[in-house]
Structure 1
Amino acid sequence: MSFMKFAATTFAAACMAFQAQAADITIRLAHLNPEDPFASHSGAMAAVFKSLVESNSGGRIEVQLFPNGQLGKDNEVIDQVRNGLVESVISSSGGIAQHYPLVGVFDIPFAFPNIGVASKVITKDSSFGKKFTADLEAKTGLKVLGLLDSGGFFEFTNSKKPIKTVEDMEGLRIRTMTVPTQEALVNSLGANATPMPWAELYTALQTGVVDGEMNPVPIIAFAKFDEVQKYLSLTNHLITPYVWTMNEDFYKGLSPEDQYLVSWAADVATDAGRSMSRVIEASDKGLPALAAKMEVNAVEPAELEKFAAASQPAVRALIEEKFGAEGTEMLDAMMTSIEEEKTDF
Structure 2
Amino acid sequence: MKLFKTMSFGLAAAVLATQALAADVTIRLAHLNPDDPFQSHSGTMAAVFKSLVESNSNGEIEVQLFPNGQLGKDNEVIEQVRAGIVESTISSSGGIAQHYNLVGVFDIPFAFPNIGVASRVMSKDSTFGQKFIGDLEGATGLKVLGLLDSGGFFAFTNSKNPITSVEDMEGLRIRTMTLPTHEAIVSSLGGQPTPLPWAEVYTALQTGVADGQMNPIPVIAFAKFDEVQKYLSITNHVITPYIWSMNADFYAGLSDEHKNLVNWAAEVATESGRAMSRVIEASDRGLPALAERMEVNVVPPAEQAKFAEAAQPAVRALIEEQYGAAGVEMLDALLASVEEEKAAF
Q: For this structure pair, what is the TM-score category when the shorter chain's length is used for normalisation?
A: over 0.9
Aligned identity (percent) is 78
C-alpha displacement of 1:22? 6.2
Structure 2 counterpart of 1:227, which letter? Answer: E
Deviations 1:112-168 (A, max 9, x none): 000000000001110000000000000000000000000000000000000001000
Partner of 1:295: 295
Give the Cα separation in 1 of the matches to 2:59 and 2:169: 53
For 1:99, the equivalent position in structure 2 comes to: 99
Q: 1:76 matched to which residue of 2?
A: 76
SS of residue matched to 2:344 = coil
SS across alignment from 1:113 = coil
Separation (CA, whole Å) in 2 of partners of 1:182 and 1:273: 24
Q: Which stretches of structure 1, 4 residues or more, deviate above 2 A after TM superposition?
A: none
The residue type paired with residue 117 of structure 1 is V
What is the SS of the residue equivalent to 1:39? coil
Q: Deviation of residue 21 (structure 1)?
A: 8.4
Counterpart in the other structure of 2:273: 273
Q: Give the partner amino acid of 2:290.
A: L
Quick one: distance in 2 between partners of 1:218 and 1:127? 28
The CA distance in 2 between the partners of 1:178 and 1:31, in whole Å, is: 18
From the superposition, tell whether residues 326 and 288 of structure 1 become closer, same or farther in structure 2 (CA, over 3 Å). same
TM-score relative to the length of structure 1: 0.94
Alignment map for 1:59-138 (pairs within 5 Å) = 59-138=59-138
Cα RMSD (Å) of the superposition? 0.9
| Aligned counterpart, 1:55 | 55
Q: Contact 2:106–2:241 (CA<8 Å) still a contact in 1?
A: yes
Distance 1:59 1:170 in 2: 57
Q: Offset at 1:24?
A: 1.3
Number of the residue aligned with 1:324: 324
Check the 8 A contact 1:171/1:192 in 2, yes or no. yes
What's the CA shift for 1:211? 0.4
C-alpha separation in 2, matches of 1:26 and 1:94: 27
State the structure with more CA Rg: 1
Q: Deviations over 1:143-199 (max 9, x none)?
A: 000000000000000000000010000000001110101100110000000111111
Contact kept in structure 1, 2:22 and 2:62, CA below 8 Å: no
CA distance in 1, matches of 2:47, 2:215: 23
Q: Give the structure 2 partner of residue 335 of structure 1.
A: 335
| Structure 2 counterpart of 1:64, one-letter code | Q
Q: Secondary structure at the match of 1:193?
A: strand
CA positional deviation for 1:38: 0.4
Cα drift, residue 319 of structure 1: 0.3
CA offsets per residue over residues 210-233 of structure 1, 9 Å max, x none? 000000000000000000000000
1:23 and 2:23 correspond: yes
TM-score, normalising length: structure 2? 0.94
> What is the CA–CA distance in structure 2 between the aligned matches of 1:245 and 1:199, rounded to whole Å?
21
Which consecutive unaligned segments of at least 5 residues does structure 2 have? 1-19
Query: CA shift at 1:302, angstroms?
Result: 1.1
Alpha-carbon separation, structure 1, partners of 2:202 and 2:70:
16
Q: Distance in 1 between matches of 2:106 and 2:304?
A: 18
Could you tell me how far apart the structure 1 residues matched to 2:141 and 2:341 are?
A: 30
Displacement of 1:80 in angstroms is 0.5
Equivalent residue number for residue 42 of structure 2: 42
Contact in 1 for aligned 2:26/2:63 (Cα 8 Å): yes
Q: Is the 8 A contact 1:171 1:191 kept in 2?
A: yes
Corresponding residue SS for 1:343: helix
Is 1:145 aligned with 2:174? no
